[in-house]
Amino acid sequence: MNRATPRLRALAALPFVLALAVHLLLFARWRDELPAELATHFSARGEGDGWTGPTAYVLVSTALLLGLAAGWTALVRRRYLWAAWATAGFAGGLLVQLLRANRVDDTFGPVVFSPGMDLGIALVVAVVAGAAGWALGSLVPAEAEPSAPGEADPSVLPLAAGEAARWSKDTGSRALTVLSVLALAAAPVTLLVATWPGALLGLLGLVVGVPGLALARVRVTVDRHGLTVRSALVPRPRVRVPLDGVEGAGVREIDAMTDFGGWGYRVRAHRTGVVLRSGEALVVRRGSGREFAVTVPDARTAAALLNALVERHGKV
């Protein structure tokens, strides 16, 4: 459910290609004037204190730009195109300043990279590139706006007077499962391989992996208690919207990036969501115009049942 057009993606990749080309051209041009080891890390005073060979430098810097390009091309949205250009401008500007610092000062002693001056120049490049990207954004047709909130309260499931009903569905994110399992696996490996206290970093794997795995698969339930979203593995943590708090339920197509700015438990100004993928979502309107959304298949049945339960709850 990705709304970026091929043209938008090309425009997002373009600044990184330009930065890469300029950087490699300058590297080739200044090749003879560069030292055998390039200063790539600097102390607070701007003196080089970390060094990299030229081949490694070219490989790492190219990988950096390509990585950023891939990320932005995959996730770009029209109104964030300027940020892709600004990122490329900043990264490209910084790399070029790095080359320049190595080239000029090699003969005079320690390589100096002035944080104020060189970072400032990179920032200026970023701003100029960002402005260019913003202007280019107008070349791309506007994306379709997400459909109006709760446009269709699809239906009300017919329930007999004393009839009890419950709907539930497990839904998950395979990517999140894989990442969490990897993070968990990293913990014991780090503890075995690394020396103390560096191995403490391995505990990060647990910190990331455990909640990750708990959220990777959730169970969405609609019953007489209302709407409940909880981990499919453990009963807590859970999010519950009681029947009292529900004004109506509907179904909507949700784009994780556009509508919620990412995946997971998302909190926005007027809406909260458990977003594990883009696509069909159960959207609940609560009092005071707030919304709660959860991406889940067969949301239509869930919404219809929730509407029926709320209607009956109101009558009692």
Partner 1 sequence: MLFRVDPASSVPLGDQIAACVRGALADGSAEPGERLPAARELADSLGVNVHTVLRGYQRLREEGLIELRRGRGAVIVPGVAAPDRARLVSRLREAAAEARELGLTEAEFLELARTSLG
Q: Where along the sequence are the contacts to partner 1 (CB under 8 A)?
A: 159-170, 221, 223-225, 298, 301, 305
Q: Which of 119/232 has CB closer to partner 1?
A: 232
- Closest approach, Cβ 312 to partner 1, in A, equals 13
Cβ nearer to partner 1, comparing 221 with 295: 221
Shortest distance in whole angstroms from residue 303 CB to partner 1? 12
- Least distance (Å) between residue 309 CB and partner 1: 11
Query: Residue 296 CB, nearest distance to partner 1 (Å)?
Result: 12
Provide DSSP, 198-248.
GGGGGHHHHHHHHHHHHHHEEEEEEETTEEEEEESSSS-SEEEEEGGGEEE
Q: What is the DSSP letter of 287?
A: G
Between 6 and 235, whose beta carbon lies closer to partner 1? 235
Closest separation in Å from C-beta 209 to partner 1: 23
Distant-in-sequence contacts of 87-90, Cβ < 8 A, 24+ apart: 87/15, 87/126, 88/15, 88/16, 88/18, 88/19, 88/129, 89/15, 89/19, 89/122, 89/125, 89/126, 89/127, 89/128, 89/129, 89/130, 90/122, 90/123, 90/125, 90/126, 90/129
Q: 284 - beta bridge partners? A: 249, 292
In the complex with partner 1, which residue's Cβ is closer, 221 or 258? 221
89 or 226: CB nearest partner 1: 226
